[in-house]
Amino acid sequence: MTAPGGVAIAGAAESDLGQVAPGLTPTDLMAQASLRALEDCGLTTADVDGLYAASTQLPWAALNLGEALGISPRTGDSTMVGGGSPIVHLAHARAAIARGDCDVALIAYGSTQRSVGRASASVQEVSPWEAPYRPLLPISAYALAASRHMHEFGTTPEQLAAVAVAAREWAQDRPNAWTAGKGPLTVDEVLAAPRVCDPLGVKDCCLLTDGGGALVVTSAERARTLRRPPVHLLGAGDATTHRHLSSMPSLTRTAADQSGARAFSQARLTPADVTCVQLYDAFTITPILFLEDLGFCAKGDGGPFVASGAIAPGGALPMNTNGGGLSYQHPGMYGLLLLVEAVRQIREGGHDVVLAHGNGGVFSAQATALLGSDAAAS
């Protein structure tokens, strides 16, 4: 049976995506996704008493969301650790529900990064230790990690390209993917794309879109009485190691090894129990490192693993089954959308245990959640 204090995702939805209508704000997209998520599970704003939100454009995102929806919550927060924030919010909501601080929590995110441009959507924080080198951030930092991984383990550009190829293949079945209608991608096309910061080219980098999403979280018991099958939070963990790349302990090992270990320990599961993963893929190097650090392959084996076809349709470990940030959507931060896709895979994809992993900064903050069906939670 589900452990006491167990919670489940009862509703999940996305806002409008891609390039949204002129005049819409990040708050509008959070509210839009929130209302859709509430409709998904049959609840209303009157049922919500916990609010959790983060956005690069809204320092007090949870307050903006409450104002837009007319909700004065009993608890909530705007914790901001980049793309993993929604997974951290999921763990915080679980704790609040267990304490009795709220009964129904709403977790939301919204961004208009494509409409307003990156410079207007994100705070450009400069490290005095890095600024003299004029890095093109964040791409230069991820390129440095990719270069180091290639040096240490022999990872090849072709293996990096395999991540983008698999993402595009998954996106072919999603009509609302930004790359819909563009057809499949080949390794040669990824390698031939204009270079941005060696070894990363245009096709190694995530999309730039608008959009958002929302989750409705409540106790497992209550979730079972609502409109859709509950998706249980089996385990969650997060960890941070640095803020700027120049302070990263290792360019080839991330704190995902810590966040993942904590999530697996809580859930009493191992990587062998996971049949589908949703991994933050702002660049092709990121899921390679996460597959290694989360225990799906040995350190250094991420390149051969993705090149084997394991993560593509028909592979042993389906990854980013909507196309991910590389081929589906990437509205500033991708963490909420990968959670929505994890929910979809449990509800509709036949998976009992799905791992969702978010990344913030330049491998700075990592957050892992294990989500499961009723069968996995029993």
What positions carry a catalytic annotation?
A: 280, 328
Query: Per 3-state DSSP, what percentage of the chain is helix, strand, and coil (rounded to 5)?
Result: 40, 20, 40
- β-partners of residue 213 are 14, 109
CA distance 43 to 336: 20
> Does residue 157 have a cis peptide bond before it, meaning omega lies within 30 degrees of 0?
no
CA distance 10 to 14: 14
Structure tokens at 172: 């072919």
Mention every residue, 6+ apart, whose C-beta is less than 8 A from residue 30: 15, 53, 55, 61, 64, 65, 68, 108, 109, 110, 212, 214
- β-partners of residue 367 are 238, 358
CB atoms inside a 10 Å sphere around CB 196: 18
Which among 292, 307, 247, 319 has a CA at the least distance from the CA of 152?
A: 292
Residue pair 107/90 in contact (Cβ under 8 Å)? The answer is yes
CA distance 200 to 161: 9
